[in-house]
Amino acid sequence: IRDRYQRRVRGQFWLIDDKGLVTKDRERKEPTHQPFVDRLRLDGFGNPAEDQPLRNGSSLEEVVRKVKPTILLGLSGVGGLFTERVIREMKSHVQKPIIFAMSNPTDLSECTAEQVYHWTNGEVIFASGSPFAPVTLPSQHGDSEPVTLFTSQANNMFIFPGVGLGIVSSGAANVTDSMFYVAAKELAHCVAEEDLKKGKIFPRISDIREVSKRVATAVARQAEDEGLIDSLPSALLKARKEGYDQEMNDSFVDRSWAWLVSNMMWWPEYHPAIQKVYSGK
């Protein structure tokens, strides 16, 4: 069942580089591409059908037209790969497509924020690997105000520090996929509703410490739930014992981990390098 499920999931991914669609017919391809490149449709005899919908080297626009994806992940390092024709084709069959132009620096980004917001009239979930300035779209109706949309810069700083802190705080023996899953879920919950309305899909950088604490708490709790902790930290057990009058429910367990994580966090406080000089008054 697991293998069948994995094949089904992998079948939803279509790998495209600067030479077009990557299939099993590509002469030189990375070993990690192998699970995603078998795109041949077979006939009733198990042989490749003659009318293949897509072929090795099919253009991104052609793939978008025939596959009708809901998400574009730009990891190519090919600047301008997401053209206006590609984006408009995608928008024609997806009400609000998800487009992540992750390549950087800016000149290697698959598209810019200004381009994608104008080509979709702002109806897009967009993030990038490079920073982009806010984009103001003209009024869609004569009686409405122009809309300014802000771009989120997708960065692993929102995940990795919290994951590391959660593992260290809990003393987990292993790092599992589930930890990254709960970290991603908690990160999504950290985005304010008002920021979502402005086009942002990642939290504010100014909130990074609180975000890291929440991610770490979720990871530590997941480690406990999966039985990956040989012995719970003594400080955690003491905190739970002192709160014995409280019901041992999910909320209390989460609060106990949040308390421990907070006490494990390092604060950059330094003594001044130059001492103050006082007058003799």
CA 32 – CA 168 distance, rounded (Å): 30
What is the pLDDT, as a whole number, of residue 146? 87
**Is the model's pLDDT at 242 over the cut of 70?**
yes
What is the pLDDT, as a whole number, of residue 42? 47
**Is the model's pLDDT at 265 over the cut of 60?**
yes
What is the pLDDT, as a whole number, of residue 245? 45
What is the pLDDT, as a whole number, of residue 279? 61
**Is the model's pLDDT at 252 over the cut of 80?**
no
Q: What is the pLDDT of residues 132-149, one digit of tens each?
A: 999 999 876 665 788 899
The least confident of 23-27, 51-55, 225-229, 231-235 is 51-55
What is the pLDDT, as a whole number, of residue 261? 92
The least confident of 15-19, 94-98, 127-131, 226-230 is 15-19
pTM of the model: 0.79
**Is the model's pLDDT at 234 over the cut of 70?**
yes
What is the pLDDT, as a whole number, of residue 244? 47
Q: What is the pLDDT of residues 90-121, one digit of tens each?
A: 999 999 999 999 998 999 999 999 999 999 99
Q: What is the pLDDT of residues 155-211, one digit of tens each?
A: 889 999 999 999 999 999 999 999 999 999 999 999 999 999 899 999 988 999 999
Q: SS3 letters for the chain?
A: CHHHHHHHHHCCCCCEECCEECCCCCCCCCHHHHHHCCCCCECCCCCECCCCCCCCCCCHHHHHHHHCCCEEEECCCCCCCCCHHHHHHHHCCCCCCEEEECCCCHHHCCCCHHHHHHHCCCCCEEEECCCCCCEEECCCCCCCCCEEECCEECCHHHCHHHHHHHHHHHCCCCCCHHHHHHHHHHHHHCCCHHHHHCCCCCCCHHHHHHHHHHHHHHHHHHHHHCCCCCCCCHHHHHHHHHCCCCCCCHHHHHHHHHHHHHHHCCCCCCCCCCCCCCCCC
**Is the model's pLDDT at 215 over the cut of 90?**
yes
Task: Calculate the average pLDDT of the chain.
Answer: 85
Q: What is the pLDDT of residues 151-165, one digit of tens each?
A: 998 988 999 999 999
Tell me, rounded to whole angstroms, the distance of Cα 255 from its chain centroid.
26
Q: What is the pLDDT of residues 30-53, one digit of tens each?
A: 787 777 776 555 445 545 555 557
